[in-house]
Amino acid sequence: MSGHAHAQGDGPEVYFQYEDIDQQQESYVVGMWAFLMTEVMFFGALFLIYTLYRWKFHDTFFLAHEQLNWKMGGLNTAVLLFSSVMVAFAVHFAQKGKKTAQLICLGMTLMCAFGFLVIKSFEYGAKGDHKLYPNYTFEYGAHDKDHKVESWWDDNLPAFMHIEKKEQHGDPKNAKLFYSIYFTMTGLHGLHVVIGIIAITSLMVLIIIKSPLITDYVPTELVGLYWHFVDLVWIFLYPLFYLIPR
């Protein structure tokens, strides 16, 4: 990287391959969107698989999903939504050039991301206890009593709102399919959260050490785009896995 052809005073730096800052900033945003397009297709294939099997084995999927903890999932939704809001603020402050506020918002996002993972790990752990990992240990219906946890809701609402629990459990094989998809999709989503954490942390470090790599708001915006995408995926995952209608 020999020639940074034209740095303009104290404005952001223009890399040597670009003519001006507009071109540079737009290129980055377009590039990021092109990448997000592939991410859409990446998760898209999984959503297709989900749709197909859900359509095929709806009843079993419904029964299997009752073992998922919708409250935990809901909490995670809230956490992620909040983090998304924080990122939006971070971008806002970056654009306004308010560094401290931006760092605080990014920090909040980071905490939400960790919070998400912690909650997720509790959930995964519980699935292990219930022998619901879709591998050779899988034993569908092993811990039936535990899922009475849900009944708190039933006890506190008038009768017509009670959710009737069906007697049968569906086909354990298809239930394993459900958990395979569940773990793949949420696992990959979790992986994206981890990548997001790495990205946000690096961004914060670079901002704090005043690295020459960060001269304008664009890096924050790119990280923000990525993080919003992560949130976007969860927006669909939550109702599709945790709140399957009968």
Partner 1 sequence: MAGHDHSELTKGGAHPHHVLPQGMIFLIAGGLFAGMAATIGAAFMIPEPLHSNTFFMQSLALAIAIFKACLVVYFYMGVKFGTRLVKIFAYGGFIWFFTLFIMMADYTSRPMEPVPGWETVPSSALPRNTVEDPE
Partner 2 sequence: MSATLIDNATAEQPRNDRNYLNADHTLKSWLLTVDHKRIGILYLIAVTIFFFIGAVAAAMIRYELTSPHGILLSSEVYNKTFSAHGIYMVFQFLVVAIPAVLGNFLIPLMIGARDMAFPRLNLLSWYMFMTGGLLITLSFILGGVDAGWTFYVPLSTLSETQISLCLVGIFITGFSSIFTAVNFIATIHKMRAPGMTWYRLPLYIWSHYSTAIVILLGTPVVAITLFLVVVERGFGFGIFSPELGGDPVLFQHLFWFYSHPAVYIMILPAFGVISEIITCFSRRPIFGYRFIAYSSVAIAFLGFLVWGHHMFLSSQSVLQGLIFSIITWILAVPSAIKVFNWTTTMYKGSIHFSTPMLYALGFMGLFLIGGLTGLHLASIDTDVHLTGTYFIVAHFHYVMVGGTIMGYLGGIHFWFPKMFGRTYSEMWGRISAMIVFVGFNLTFFPQFIVGYLGMPRRYHYYYFAPEWQFYHILSTAGSTVLGIGFLLPGIYLTYAIFKGKKAGPNPWGAKGLEWEQAGSPPITENFEKPVLVLEDPYNYNPEEDSKMYEHEVESADMLGGRK
**CA atoms of 182 and 133, how far apart (whole Å):** 10
Q: Which residues pair with 13 in a beta bridge?
A: 7
Q: How far is the CB of 162 from partner 2 (least distance, A)?
A: 30
- DSSP run (H or E) holding 165: none
Task: Give the interface segment with partner 1, choosing from 22-30, 106-114, 182-190, 199-207 (CB under 8 A).
Answer: 22-30
Q: How far is the CB of 194 from partner 1 (least distance, A)?
A: 20
Is-contact 186 241, C-beta < 8 A? yes
# residues contacting partner 2 (CB under 8 A): 43
Q: Which three-class secondary structure string do you get for 170-219?
A: CCHHHHHHHHHHHHHHHHHHHHHHHHHHHHHHHHHHHHHCCCCCCCCCHH
Residue choice 4, 7, 22, 198 for contact with partner 1 (CB under 8 A): 22
Give the nearer residue to partner 2 in terms of CB position, either 28 or 238. 28
Q: What residues have CB less than 8 Å from 196, skipping those under 6 apart?
A: 113, 223, 226, 227, 230
- Choose among 149, 128, 150: nearest CA to 139: 128
Q: Which three-class secondary structure string do you get for 137-148?
A: CCCCCCCCHHHH
Amino acid at 99: K
Query: Is there binding between residue 152 and partner 1 (CB under 8 A)?
Result: no
Place of tokens 């752990």: 125
Residues in 78-137 at the binding interface with partner 2, rule: CB under 8 A: 133-136
Residues in 54-113 at the binding interface with partner 1, rule: CB under 8 A: 55-56, 58, 70, 74, 77-78, 81, 84-85, 87-89, 91-92, 95-96
Q: Are strands 13-14 and 6-7 parallel, antiparallel or unpaired?
A: antiparallel
# residues contacting partner 1 (CB under 8 A): 67
Residues near partner 2 (CB under 8 A): 1-3, 16-18, 23, 26-28, 30-31, 34-35, 37-39, 41-46, 48-49, 52-53, 56-57, 133-136, 171, 173-174, 176-177, 180-181, 183-184, 188
Residues near partner 1 (CB under 8 A): 8, 11-12, 20-22, 25-26, 29-30, 33-34, 36-38, 40-41, 44-45, 47-48, 51-52, 55-56, 58, 70, 74, 77-78, 81, 84-85, 87-89, 91-92, 95-96, 135-136, 138-139, 153, 157, 160-161, 163, 173, 216-217, 221, 224-225, 228-229, 231-232, 235-236, 238-240, 243, 245-246
